[in-house]
Structure 1
Amino acid sequence: MSDKANLGPSPSSGPTLRPTISSGDSHNWTELLYFLNNTLPECQIELSDDVRRVALFVLYLAIFVMGLVENFLVIWVNWRRAGQAGLLNFYVLHMAFADLGIVLSLPVWMLEVTLDYTWLWGDFSCRFIHYFYFVNMYSSIFFLVCLSIDRYVTLTGTSASWQRRQHQVRRVVCASVWVLSAILPLPEVVHIRLMGTLEPVCLFLAPFETHDKWILAVTLSASIFGFLLPFFLIAIFNVLTAWRLHQTEQPESRRHSLLVGAYVVVFVVCWLPYHLTLLLLTLNATHITLHCYLVNVLYFFYDIADCFSMLHCVVNPILYNFLSQSFRGRLMSAVVHYLPKVQARAGRHASSSSSSTQHSIIIIKEGAQPTAAGPQPPSLNVQAPETSPVSTVPFLTAS
């Protein structure tokens, strides 16, 4: 995400600073490595690297399995109704693709941890995989921002012009998010390279003369665009949404407001430890001097905080999809649709069997709309009662 390679092993910029030095290299790598390695003070704390590697491997594996299943289901269910994309479905679908991209890169980081941060996939993959990870990471965060803004704008915007143009606006916004996410990682990726021969490592190596400036610039860029600015927008618009929901005085408005607050809390819990650790280590290497024991602890837990930030790939599908009764209903309908025996039995007994009638009622209740209802007019995907002026739970999650 930023200058991770210079701060120790990490999934996004990889390995420790132990490359084999090439005598013909244009950079003064000996001085550079001496400078970087001496940013870590001499006092030591007994922290087991083996324990850290095992913990990282287990975390990566758990996130990979859960994230792969959850995001695949989200894409599958929402893709089936792509032509009826409503308030959240369009952004949720794109966010699921971004989270799935992050999840698909995890096997590389798992193997890198197992191999003690040795990179075995060549120079091209050294840059491409990191770039692929960065693009999807920024996209996932930016789509969270889009969801927060779109929820509030749609809740308060009643003009006919917005109703006509909202789907077109969302398509333009999604395209812009992918373009911006493809541009932001370029200053870092162009300086990532493969070093060493016997034990090759993938490192961020800027020109030696301006190396500390590059570290600070890339770290600040990641912190601003990857956390501070998104957090500010997510917090502001979710608070405004919760306040607007509270004004409706509906019976479940309190629970819905808590759900909106959970969006903000989860974002902070996932990303704040990583960005705080990264910023402290970067400043310690360039501008300030931290206590040596604190620096050792930060270096030790840096990779764990980095891995922990990827939990958003697991939590996002739950918060924005699986908590929605409408999504669960559509998921059930999709599963039933691909079960030939159940589908045939339901067709044979549709007119006479009370059990199949009860089953179809459950599907309708869960999904809010039966598939036999025919084409529906554009709506905000609000599944609230007809007398309710403002949407509720399906408004806050994918519907």
Structure 2
Amino acid sequence: MSVKPSWGPGPSEGVTAVPTSDLGEIHNWTELLDLFNHTLSECHVELSESTKRVVLFVLYLAMFVVGLVENLLVICVNWHSSGRAGLLNLYILNMAIADLGVVLSLPVWMLEVMLDYTWLWGSFFCRFTHYFYFANMYSSIFFLVCLSIDRYATLTSASASWQRHQHQVRRAVCAGIWILSAIIPLPEVVHIQLIEGPEPVCLFMAPFEMHSTWALVMTLSTTILGFLLPFPLIAVFNVLMACRLRQPGQPESRRHCLLMCAYVAVFVICWLPYHVTLLLLTLHGTHISLHCHLVHLLYFFYEVIDCFSMLHCVINPILYNFLSPRFRDRLLNAVVHYLPKDQARAGTHASSSTQHSIVITKVDGQPAAAGPHPEPSLSFQAPPLLPNTSPIAPPQPLTSS
């Protein structure tokens, strides 16, 4: 999102909220922005906007390059997965597509920051870019929730009905998430307008008399749908998964539990600062009163905090794909496929030897007393030679195939 918050004036227009009593003397947006600028001069904080713009440009550029490469690799590898492997990775594939959509919007925010929030791409792209960002942001979060629930359900469910219909359920859920994510941003996007002037600005422009109410509604809906509902689900199912996988004295079990904790921690670190800052800035002036200097600091660092929240598009591919040995093997096989024949033979031989040694090590290291639920692997990359193996079951002995 370019203007932060998108339903309030950006730093270039003035950043101090106006008391409700003063709004009674304001009759249009021009007078309101003039009052913002007047209020700004009464509480001055020495902060370097030029330094912030350079930092944001570097961050946006780095996330764009790394996120683009990572998500394209994830999409390519999972897209070519056939049969059971492709169905098991459906949530991961869709999440990578959504993260790629967020990454593709980064150049717009990067250029807007460097232009001091001047919008140069017309009225249509003012709305479309925000819509494209919000739709993909919600999709990424919702797919992450579904992935957390699906992994736990696949691990614990012994229902024959679930085993028969799980693939149809996954397809239906993915389609529903895309439709829901396409609808959620509409109430906000229809009120985003391009404010013409010497320096055109893309802003959220709700009906003037109800602007504070609209701002609060949009903020609460963003926070509830983007954090307050997804976070408990992600945390609960990952904690339950970690408890189920925990086996004292097993290093692999400890690694899986740490990975579960990392899923939850990354979500909180990326999104909690953004939603807290957004709520404080929206509530200030109408529901709560913050110190003038604190408001300046919140507005000044809002763009940095929002940029930091987009790190999930870079971290998700690492956590949910590149840490999986099976994904790395499939990625290596895909790379070897496009190498010249002599190099491909050598690479395939090395890959087969490596994969064989990994399987032998895991089978030999499997605990004898596995019980009814043996220690599962968190990787959802199904082995091509074992189509009937559970997606999160441990590698089976070579004799079972």
TM-score range, shorter chain: 0.7 to 0.9
For residues 7-86 of structure 1, the aligned pairs below 5 Å read 7-9=8-10, 16-17=12-13, 28-34=28-34, 42-85=42-85
Greater relative contact order (CA < 8 Å, ≥ 6 in sequence)? 1
**CA distance in structure 2 between the aligned counterparts of 1:87 and 1:246, rounded to whole angstroms:** 27
State the alpha-carbon separation in 2 of the partners of residues 162 and 206 from structure 1: 46
* Number of the residue aligned with 2:367: none
CA distance in 2, matches of 1:246, 1:40: 55
Q: Distance in 1 between matches of 2:97 and 2:214?
A: 31
Compute the displacement of 1:158 (Å): 1.1
Please give the per-residue CA displacement for 1:305-352, whole angstroms capped at 9, x wherever unaligned: 000000000000000000011111111111001112345645xxxxxx
Q: Residues 344 and 211 of structure 1: is their aligned pair in 2 closer, same or farther, counting only changes over 3 Å?
A: closer
Q: Tell me which amino acid in the other structure corresponds to 2:159.
A: S
For residue 162 of structure 2, what is the amino acid of its counterpart?
Answer: W
TM score, norm. by length of structure 2: 0.84
1:360 aligns to 2:349 (yes or no): no
Flag structure 2 segments of 5+ consecutive residues without an equivalent. Answer: 15-26, 361-382
In structure 2, what residue type is equivalent to 1:143? F
Given the superposition, is the C-alpha separation of residues 381 and 6 from structure 1 closer, same or farther in structure 2, using an over 3 Å criterion? Answer: same
Quote the Cα distance in structure 2 between the aligned partners of 1:117 and 1:217.
24
Q: Give the aligned partner of residue 252 of structure 1.
A: 252
Report 1:51-200 matches (<5 A).
51-85=51-85, 88-200=88-200
Please list the CA deviations of residues 30-53 of structure 1 after superposition, one character each: whole Å capped at 9, or x if unmatched: 343346557768322211000110
Conserved? CA contact 1:191–1:204, under 8 Å: yes
Paired position in structure 1 for 2:240:
240
User: Which deviates more from structure 2 when the two are superposed, residues 302-311 or residues 76-85?
Assistant: 76-85
Which residue of structure 1 aligns with residue 395 of structure 2?
A: 385
Report the Cα distance in structure 2 between the residues aligned to 1:383 and 1:216, rounded to whole angstroms: 46
Q: Stretches of 4+ moved more than 6 A in 1?
A: none
Determine the C-alpha separation between the residues in 2 that align with 1:312 and 1:232. Answer: 17
Q: Using the alignment, how far apart are the partners of 1:330 and 1:201 within structure 2? A: 46
- Name the residue aligned to 1:4: 5
Distance 1:4 1:334 in 2: 43
- CA distance in 2 between counterparts of 1:204 and 1:64 reads 25
8 A contact 2:193–2:203 mirrored in 1 = yes
Counterparts of 1:30 and 1:344 in 2: how far apart (Å)? 65
Distance 1:374 1:83, change over 3 A: closer
| CA gap 1:53/1:93 in 2 versus in 1, 3 angstroms | same
Structure 1: runs of 5+ lacking an equivalent:
10-14, 19-26, 347-354, 388-399
Give the 3 Å change call, closer, same or farther, for CA 138–74 of structure 1 in structure 2: same
Residue 8 of structure 2 contacts residue 203 of structure 2 at CA under 8 Å; is this kept in 1?
Answer: no
Q: Which residue identity lines up with residue 387 of structure 2 in the other structure?
A: P
Going from structure 1 to structure 2, the CA distance change for 1:325 and 1:41 (only over 3 Å counts) comes to farther
Deviation of the 1:88 alpha carbon: 4.9
Q: Is the partner of 1:116 in helix, strand or coil?
A: coil
CA–CA distance in structure 1, aligned partners of residues 126 and 9 of structure 2: 16
When residues 294 and 344 of structure 1 are mapped into structure 2, their CA distance, relative to the original with a 3 A threshold, is closer
Q: Percent identity?
A: 67
TM superposition shift of 1:4: 1.8
Q: Which amino acid aligns with 2:236?
A: I
Distance 2:359 2:316 in 1: 20
Matches within 5 A, 1:319-330: 319-330=319-330
Distance 1:126 1:176 in 2: 27
Instruction: For 1:3 and 1:216, locate their aligned partners in 2 and report how far apart those are by CA, in whole Å.
Output: 14
Q: CA deviation at 1:250?
A: 4.5
Gap change, CA 1:40 and 1:380, over 3 Å in 2: farther
CA contact (8 A) 2:329 2:351 kept: no
Aligned residue in 2 for 1:285 = 285
Change beyond 3 A, Cα 1:257–1:86:
farther
Q: CA deviation at 1:197?
A: 3.7
1:193-236 CA-to-partner distances (Å, cap 9, x unmatched) read 11114311111000110000000000000000011111111111
- Secondary structure of 1:126's match? helix
1:226 and 2:226 correspond: yes
Question: Taking structure 1 as reference, are residues 190 and 162 closer, same or farther at Cα in structure 2, changes over 3 Å only?
Answer: same
Take 2:230 and 2:344, find their aligned partners in 1: how far apart are those partners? 48
Contact 1:3 1:215 in 2 (8 A): no
After superposition, the C-alpha distances for 1:113-163 in whole angstroms (9 at most, x for unaligned) are 111111111100100111000000000011110111111111110111111
Cα pair 1:5 1:16 within 8 Å, conserved: no
Whether contact under 8 Å (1:325, 1:367) holds in the other structure is: no
Output the CA distance in 1 between the equivalents of 2:97 and 2:184.
Answer: 19
Query: Structure 1 counterpart of 2:80, which letter?
Result: R
Query: 2:24 aligns to what?
Result: none
Match of 1:338 in 2: 338
Query: How far did 1:284 drift?
Result: 0.5
| Cα distance in 1 between the residues matched to 2:89 and 2:8 | 38
The question of whether the paired residues in 2 share the 8 Å contact of 1:8 and 1:299 is answered with no
Q: How many correspondences in the alignment?
A: 362
SS in 2 for 1:5: coil
Partner SS, residue 286 of structure 1: coil
Offset of residue 364 of structure 1: 5.0
Q: Is the 8 A contact 1:135 1:185 kept in 2?
A: yes
Aligned to 1:314: 314
315 and 208 in structure 1: CA distance in 2 versus 1, 3 angstrom threshold: same
Secondary structure in structure 1 of the residue aligned to 2:243: helix
Change (3 A) 1:277 1:134: same
Residue matched to 1:303:
303
Q: Give 1:378 deviation, angstroms.
A: 4.5
For 2:117 and 2:134, how far apart are their aligned partners in 1?
Answer: 19
3-state DSSP class of the match of 1:314? helix
- Return the alpha-carbon distance in structure 2 between the equivalents of residues 191 and 34 of structure 1: 21
Change in CA separation of 1:37 and 1:222 when aligned onto 2, cut-off 3 Å: farther
